[in-house]
Amino acid sequence: MSAENLVQLLYLISTALFIMSLKWMSDPATARKGVFSGVAAMLLAVAGTLAGVATTGGTHYWWILGAFAIGSAIGYPLAQVPLTAVPQRTALSHAFGGLAAGLVGTAKYFLYFGRGDALSLTPFIVVALVAEILLGFLTFTGSLMAAGKLQEVKWIPQRPVTYPLQNVSNIGMLIVAIGMGTALVMNPLAAWAPYAFLGVILLSLAFGVLMILPIGGADMPTVISILNAYAGLSAVAMGFVLNNKLLITAGALDGSSGLILSIIMCKAMNRSFANVLFGAFGQAPQATEAGESKAYKSDTTESAAQVLEQASLVVIVPGYGMAVAQAQHKVRELYDLLKKRGITVKFAIHPVAGRMPGHMNVLLAEAEIPYDDLVEMDVINGDMPQADVALIIGANDVVNPAARSDKNSPIFGMPIIDADKAKTVYAIKRSKNPGFAGIDNELYFLDKTFMLFGDAKSVVGELAKQLAGDNGH
């Protein structure tokens, strides 16, 4: 077998493993196999690239090995972050991917321009280069902004930031960047072409920031999915520029899966892409002020445990508060105690609960809660009227009835879990502050709702102690 055939074989196997990775990760029973398949695919891709360089007789593979070592040194600690930080870590991964694509595209263009290589700068390649830097650099800055918002970095505003003619200026900026790119396609070797190329880069970087500024935290799961799609598409463009079939395939898989997930997320929120990117979801400070005059009804964990003991069906609604408190293992303990009493326990999973798609599923799976008891929103809503208790752990906007009834609410039209239809509602909440959408939750002021204020891990732990008969005496 020739060296070139060996490289292509490695790329082919890598492609197949990437495809199988997505397939296996769609089912919890095979998800772990999917992760290992993706890792193996990437290792084979790197091995194939090294083999291709080595067979040319060059020494450039040392650069590849050096980059591999640096990437591994950065990637390993990033993999050790707590599950609460996985959304922002994912956003950082997209940022790195976008930056890599943008830098490769920039290096390729200036290499061809310096040589005056008109044969390499064909219209198709220049289109791919423009798409690569446009998508790559806006993904870079957009992902950094998203990570900063999720991490609640002080100098990055958490709430949506809007200003007059914002959408017009943003779209105008994008049109100018595309116009410059079109001019590059027409004449990539003109004296002014490098300046136009740099102009596209600067506009892309700025657009990435301005695209995320008007987006509130409640939309972050969808935004992360969209950025994932952009990163994948930039990799596709890079594959065409480098004539690398594996990059094209892997990027297409990444981009299409991110796009499909974004569509699913938008459907779950009853929103369009345009509404997510330009809607400034989450601006309603007046609702917060109005809610301050309303009265909560607090209860004790002892009383709540007694109500739980009498229930036949308990539906637990997890949210970001559970993730922040790392309460999933205490939730598992509570789950086991309720099941021992013959009580049916289900977990209501909203598609956008938490800060990224599947966030709650991952947390609960870590606590080894049976996947069959994790029920999607559309299915569990049919059972909510029969639920004796809805126990909300750190969720807020995804159970707010205002989404159904208040046309002035920023979350109006968003499908929610119908916790208000349960016979009794207990809500565990750290404080009286509103959720990430910036509005009060009408559910918390209903006659059937009782608040258990405190850290989710501590409160759930106390509930478990009461059910176990350990009252601390």
Known catalytic residues?
397
Q: Annotate 373-386 with DSSP letters as a single string.
A: GEEEHHHHTTTGGG
Closest CA to 400 of 370, 431, 440: 440
β-sheet with 449-453: strand ranges across: 374-376, 344-349, 313-318, 389-393, 424-429, 449-453
Integer Cα distance of 422 and 69 in angstroms: 54
Integer Cα distance of 207 and 232 in angstroms: 18
Are the beta carbons of 425 and 315 closer than 8 angstroms? Answer: no
Q: For residue 367, give the amino acid letter.
A: A
Are the beta carbons of 251 and 238 closer than 8 angstroms? Answer: yes
HEC assignment per residue over 372-438: HHEEEHHHHCCCHHHCCEEEEECCCHHHCCHHHHCCCCCCCCCCCCCHHHCCEEEEEECCCCCCCCC
Integer Cα distance of 120 and 110 in angstroms: 12
Token reading at 288: 């917060």
Are the beta carbons of 116 and 189 closer than 8 angstroms? Answer: yes
Q: Spell out the alpha helix ranges (H) of 358-426.
A: 359-366, 377-380, 402-405
Integer Cα distance of 82 and 53 in angstroms: 38
Residue 76 exposed, middle or buried by CB count within 10 Å (0-12, 13-18, 19+): exposed
- The strand pairing partners of 374, in sequence order, are 347
Residue 257: phi and psi, rounded to 5, are -65, -40
Are the beta carbons of 417 and 348 closer than 8 angstroms? Answer: yes
Are the beta carbons of 446 and 422 closer than 8 angstroms? Answer: no
